[in-house]
Amino acid sequence: VSGADAHGLSAEEALIARYFAPIARHPGALGLADDCAFYAPPAGHELVLKADAIVGSVHFFPDDPADLVAKKALRVNLSDLAAKGAGPAGFLLSLALPAGTEERWLEAFARGLKEDAEAFACPLFGGDTVRSPGPVMVSVAVFGIVPAGRMLRRGAAQAGDVVMVTGTIGDAVLGLRVRQWDVPEAVALDEAASEELVGRYRLPRPRTALAHALREHARAGMDVSDGLVGDLAKLCRASGVSADIEVSRVPLSAPARAFVAADSAALTAMLTGGDDYEVLFTLAPERVAAMEAAAAEAGVPVTAIGRIVGGAAPPRFVGADGKALQFARTAFSHF
């Protein structure tokens, strides 16, 4: 609680004007100088809506760089939009800060947020900043746009569809272990490899560039945020189908391959851990070539890892020995 400065602004208004107004470049945001913002989707389009929060000591480390915390908070939401075939339009932010948060933390946070708001063409439309007796919490509500009726669903997969994923799977969960010094001695990662894995944990890469191609070619889609095994199970359940996945075809990064070569048990964690922020999607076999071409043009690697099959059984992840892997837990859950 404080008084007003020379311009009659409260400290809270001054903070907003200094750090957040420069990120609010859409005319409807009114420079964050009003209580609400306004927005109309382009003709023939509808909004795609998502809210996801990240919490200090849960989703990131309290000493993670503040600019990366801001980017992660925005990107986990942008990842969802991309997987739904939607382009970003804007976001709202609720930021809870513990007492004693330093000015330079906030400065770095706002810098990171601004960089990504610009990089992803997703301006800030409003929000609030509150003191909290708890850890930093960054709640983002993002809205994107798609042509009306064209949002990709979880529940539209059909038996016979090819199952594909973007990028590589399991890096983030390994990055978290590196960050926690929880790496078996047999795993000899050089500095670059360690940094690559930690980077995947800290900073998701939303597949925004693939949104249009997904809308054109995919049948069902969702992002992989709680682990490939559990997220594919969700997609299958919503679609009333099952899937056969060849584990050997699941794309792994070079550091992840080195990790698994020395610690084969890590593979289960990689398939069931969270924070991948890749897109999992299915499409008719005759669309695969067109999708691969569109993905190459968008600069996003895509890999076929198996097939959608009929039935209500959980998806099978089949190893090199032809046997299905058994998972003690299939996904990250907060509860």
Q: In what order do the strands lie in the sheet with 162-166?
A: 220-224, 278-283, 162-166, 302-309, 242-246, 316-318
Tokens 């670059």 map to which residue? 192
Closer CB to a copy of itself, 15 or 260, in the complex? 15
Binding of a copy of itself by 35 (CB under 8 A)? yes
Q: Is 40 one of the binding residues for a copy of itself (CB under 8 A)?
A: yes
Smaller CB distance to a copy of itself: residue 86 or 193? Answer: 86
Q: Which of residues 250-309 bind a copy of itself (CB under 8 A)?
A: none
Alpha carbons 194 and 89: distance in angstroms, whole number? 34
Rounded Cα distance between 124 and 240, Å, is 38
Residues 212-241 that bind a copy of itself (CB under 8 A): 222-223, 226, 230, 233-234, 237-238
Residue whose CB is less far from a copy of itself, 181 or 335: 335
Q: DSSP letter string over 281-315?
A: EEE-GGGHHHHHHHHHHHT--EEEEEEEESSSSPP
- When the beta carbons of 235 and 252 are compared against a copy of itself, the nearer one is 235
Instruction: Write the DSSP assignment of 243-254 as a string of letters.
Output: EEEEGGGS---H
DSSP state for residue 232 in the 8-state scheme? H
Coil, strand or helix at 109: helix
User: Going residue by residue from 74 to 103, which x/- string records binding to a copy of itself, judged by CB under 8 A?
Assistant: ------xx-xx-x---x-xxx-x-------
Measured in whole angstroms, the distance separating CA 229 from the mean position of its chain's CA atoms is 16
Assess 180 for contact with a copy of itself (CB under 8 A). no
Please list every residue from 116 through 145 that binds a copy of itself, using CB under 8 A: 125-135, 137, 139, 141, 143-144
CB of 42 to a copy of itself, least distance (A): 11
- Minimum CB separation from a copy of itself for residue 233, in Å? 6
Total length of the chain: 335
**What is the smallest separation between the CB atom of 188 and a copy of itself, expressed in angstroms?**
29
**Number of residues forming the site for a copy of itself (CB under 8 A):** 84
Tokens representing residue 313 in the block = 């059984």
- Rank residues 8 and 299 by Cβ distance to a copy of itself and give the closer one: 8
**CB neighbours (10 Å) of residue 298?**
18
Among 17, 47, 189, 258, binds a copy of itself (CB under 8 A): 47
Among 27, 38, 121, 192, binds a copy of itself (CB under 8 A): 38
CB of 36 to a copy of itself, least distance (A): 5
| Residue with token string 């509150």 | 130
Longest dimension (CA), the chain: 73
